Structure formats: C-alpha cells, structure tokens
Amino acid sequence: MTVELTDELRRLEIAKGTGVLFVGDGAFQLTEGAITSADCLRTSGLARLVMEAGVATADDWRRAEGGDAGRLLEQPRLETLAMLSVFDAAYFLLASPSVPEFRPAPPHWLATVCRITPHVLVHECERRGDPESTPWPAQLVDRAPVVPVRRGRRRRVVLTGGQAEVLAAADARRSVAGIGDYLGRTSYGCLVAVRELTAAGLIEPPVQVMPAESPTAPPVIEATPPPRRRRVRPTAPVPAPDRWKPVDPDLLVRLRAALEDA
C-alpha cells in the first residue's frame, strides 16, 4: 500500500475535493472528499457486477452513464454492489507505485448511494492484506492463468458454491481477473477462492521460470503446465469526466459506514 496515494486521498478528504484521482491502471471518483466510485482494469467493474446480479441491463447502465440514472438508483442492491466494486478496485490500486493525479470534475452519479471515507477504504484493504505465504500474491491477478490440477488427489474436498464456480471457470487460459469478469464477481473474491483451491490441491500453483534466451532477466510468471497466455480485461472503461452528470439531491440515501465482507 503506497503512502503517497493514501496521503493524497486523506488530503482530498480534508479539502473536500470533488473529481477524479487517476492512479496506475484505474481511478477513484470523489465527491466532497469521499470515494463514490472506483475503476481498475484488473477488476470486473460495477457495470459487470450489476448486470450479472440482475440489478440492471446494459441499456439501464448506458442510460445511467448518460445522465438518466433514476431507475437504477432506485434499486436497493445497487449500494452494496457499488461498495463491493470500490473495495475491489482499491485493493489493487492502493498498491500501485504510480504517482496519483487529481483532476476536478462534477460529482459522479453514484454519489447518491455510495460514499466511503479514505479511512474506511484503507482499513478494509489492510484487513484483507496480501499474505506472503500464498503462491498467488495480488500482483498475479491478471498475469498468470489459473490451471486446474489434471489428476485429482484421492481425498474428499468440500467446496463452497463460490469455490466450485471458480474451479469450473478455470480453463488454463483465464487469469484470476478473467475468471472474475467471466463470472461477474469481484477479482478479490476470485483471488481468495484460487488461493484456497490451490491449498486444497485443485489448482496448480504458478511457478517462476527464467527465459532461456536471457538468463539474467527478471523472473517471468508462467504456469504448470504452460498454457496459452491471454490477458483479460473488463469491457467497461473508466468513465471520462465529461460524461458525468450532477446527481439528483432528492435521491440521497444514507451511506453504510463500512463493509466487513467482500
């Protein structure tokens, strides 16, 4: 977790900044210092989450981005999904070494249902952590394919519904982020499931191999056995600031203080 980014978020909170904070491969949208939305190319994104959950259709989402978010803002599950999306993106963006850049912009339309303070955001990401003992650190979320074990061990393994979905989606080509986008789930949730499935002996751990043509080069992440590599990215891009519209003050709802489980 980079100190520069967390300090900038806290500075914007004190200054009650409203706009976009670009960092790495994503961005935070802030309204009066609170985070209202976040996007990261390594996560599924809110658009994918709400469509998979049946909260909105593609047309509903296009209308919301175009300034007509009234119908979507009335959906009771939108708040929970919006917060999940923010925490998911923040888990990866807060570790980005890139220098953050803030640009003032109108409030994001999600400001009526989602406002998370930097303190709560940082605390949740610290709680999740990035265990050193796991063969799947957060940096591999979009870099290594998830390869199921070809021959199952002769022991009974009880899987949760989420673990079973992730295992079924592991095709030796999709990365963790690709599985999340395919299933319409958070990248962090899929990363946790992959870690657990690897510990259970159902997913191959990624290994570091040195390219033969360059013995002094940094290690390159491959998989065992080496499948075709493909980088999967969400289809929904980070919204451009000039597409955001002022929120409707009549639709304000109370913000839940924190989300304990993603």
Mean pLDDT in consecutive groups of 10 residues from the start of the chain, 262 residues: 91 97 97 97 96 94 92 93 97 93 96 96 94 93 94 78 96 97 97 96 77 42 45 44 40 39 44
SS (H, E, C) 110-148: HHHCCCECHHHHHHHHHHHCCCCCCCCCHHHCCCCECCE
Look at residue 153 in the predicted model and tell me its pLDDT: 63
Q: Is 103 helix (H, G, I), strand (E, B) or coil?
A: strand
Type and span of the H or E element at 79? helix 78-93
Beta bridge partners of 220: 209
**pLDDT for residue 134:** 92
pTM of the model: 0.77
Residue 157: its pLDDT value, please?
85
Burial 208-234 (b: 16+ CB within 10 A, else e): eeeeeeeeeeeeeebbeeebeeeebbb
- Position 227 scores a pLDDT of 46
